[in-house]
DNA sequence: TTTCTAACA
DNA sequence: TGTTAGTA
């Protein structure tokens, strides 16, 4: 792999940047962290440092929340996702349907009740 | 100035 | 969730 690839897991983004990238409030981002939905790295002074993956994750969380899911339900979705990933690494029909569902959920963000 | 935690409305 | 207080 080349060193030119984007290191999506490198935590270098401060709260201010993530706030704008996700269109979420600091409060919401910290709350999702508290709930264990995200685990940002910490820098000097315990300041959160987010990676590109964290940003994607936050957007995904926001999508689920907008779709009416509760925090605990999102945790269940994660657990289910991990089980599927652990037992069947190869994409089967079931996984593909979940992947499609996730994509539709994201697309729905542009058709749903959002103010933009 | 920015971010953090805790707590109250 | 917003907001405020007191810090680091």
Q: What are A45-81's pLDDT values in tens digits?
A: 999 999 999 999 999 999 999 999 999 999 999 999 8
- Residue A1 located in a structural domain: no
Mean pLDDT lowest for which of A8-22, A26-40, A78-92, A100-114?
Answer: A100-114
- Residue A95 located in a structural domain: yes
Cα-flanking dihedrals φ and ψ of residue A34, to 5°?
A: -55, -40
Q: Give the per-residue pLDDT at A115.
A: 45
What is the three-class DSSP state of A49? strand
Q: Which of residues 72-101 of A touch strand C (CB under 7 A)?
A: none
pLDDT at A105 over 90: no
Q: Which of residues 20-59 of A touch strand C (CB under 7 A)?
A: 24-28, 31, 45
- Contact yes or no for A54/A40 (Cβ under 8 A): yes
Residue A32: how many other CB atoms lie within 10 Å: 22
CATH code where residue A31 lies: 1.10.1660.10
CA of A112 to C1' of C4 (A): 33
Number of domains chain A contains: 1
């Amino acid at each position: 792999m080349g060193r030119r690839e984007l290191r999506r897991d490198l935590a270098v983004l401060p709260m201010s940047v993530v706030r704008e990238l996700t269109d979420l409030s600091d409060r919401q981002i910290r709350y999702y962290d508290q709930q264990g939905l995200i685990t940002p790295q910490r820098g000097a002074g315990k300041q959160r440092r987010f990676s590109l993956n964290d940003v994607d994750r936050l957007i995904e969380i926001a999508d689920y929340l907008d779709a009416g899911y509760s925090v605990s339900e999102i945790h269940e979705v994660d657990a289910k996702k991990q089980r599927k990933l652990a037992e069947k690494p190869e994409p089967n029909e079931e996984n593909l349907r979940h992947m499609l569902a996730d994509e539709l959920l994201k697309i729905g963000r542009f058709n749903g009740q959002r103010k933009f």
